[in-house]
Structure 1
Amino acid sequence: MQRQVYDCTPGCPVESTLQVIAGKWKSVILYHLFTAGTCRFSILQKRLPGCSRRMLARQLQELVQDGVIAKRVYPVVPPKTEYWITPFGQTLKPVIMAMETWGRQYNSVNGKPRQ
């Protein structure tokens, strides 16, 4: 799968950030991993009911490839897979938490339900 390349000046730091967290579910996945810690695939699937199993697996795979999260698969039946934020991924915490703060403010101004 080819990723979206944003037309920005070479080396644009905003473009670099978007390359990692762009996608409907990546920021939400990161938010849940930051707030809950290590999560199994099934837990993430329950927390993102609008995200298909295939899309969740793809978004997680891309985050692993980018070194933002890590994955451990346990050799049991059925397979048990856990995901957590890497030390490099921890550097995104202020970005994701700022998104949460802004989203809460937006929701309160626009009458959206609190979560």
Structure 2
Amino acid sequence: MAKRKENSTNNINREYITTNCDAIYTICKIGGRWKMMILFYLEEYGTLRFNELKEKTVGITDRMLSLQLKELEADNLVTRQVYAEVPPRVEYSLTNIAKDLLPIWPALEDWGTKHRALSAVKQEDSK
């Protein structure tokens, strides 16, 4: 995550909002371009290695995948298991906290399907 000054207005506002609104707290933890995709693949396929996740997450760079996995791990949504082998083997899987999110995924998908279609209609009407 990008470093911000602790006393910056943006940081103070973000802290206030995430402290006082549970929905925004949740969106901050799973939001962004890649996190939901990573969580989806770990839910769909179970435990995956870094390169398996990279292969499934089309367009993500090694650096970005590494950063997103570190953030998800710091937020206790993903576990990282390192095996003492040569070559080293590292596997990622969902935590129970992340699994608690699973019941809301269909509702998020339904909302996206409905409103993506409405947005497409609105764009066509404005031409």
- Cα RMSD between the aligned structures? 2.6
The structure whose Rg is larger is 2
Q: Is the 8 A contact 1:30 1:96 kept in 2?
A: no
- The number of residues matched between the two structures is 111
Overall identity of the aligned pairs, in %: 36
Q: Is the 8 A contact 1:71 1:84 kept in 2?
A: yes
Structure showing the higher helix proportion among its residues: 2
Which structure 2 residues correspond to residues 33-44 of structure 1 after superposition, within 5 A?
33-44=42-53
Identify unmatched segments of 5+ residues in structure 2: 5-10, 121-127
Given candidates 77, 89, 94, the residue that maps to 1:68 is 77
Structure-1-length-normalised TM-score: 0.78
Given candidates 75, 83, 96, the residue that maps to 1:87 is 96
Identify unmatched segments of 5+ residues in structure 1: 111-115
Q: Which has the higher contact order (CA 8 A, sep 6+)?
A: 1
Q: Is the 8 A contact 1:71 1:83 kept in 2?
A: yes
Please give the alpha-carbon distance, in whole angstroms, between the structure 1 residues aligned to 2:25 and 2:67.
19
Given candidates 68, 78, 89, the residue that maps to 2:87 is 78
Q: CA deviation at 1:108?
A: 7.1
Structure-2-length-normalised TM-score: 0.72
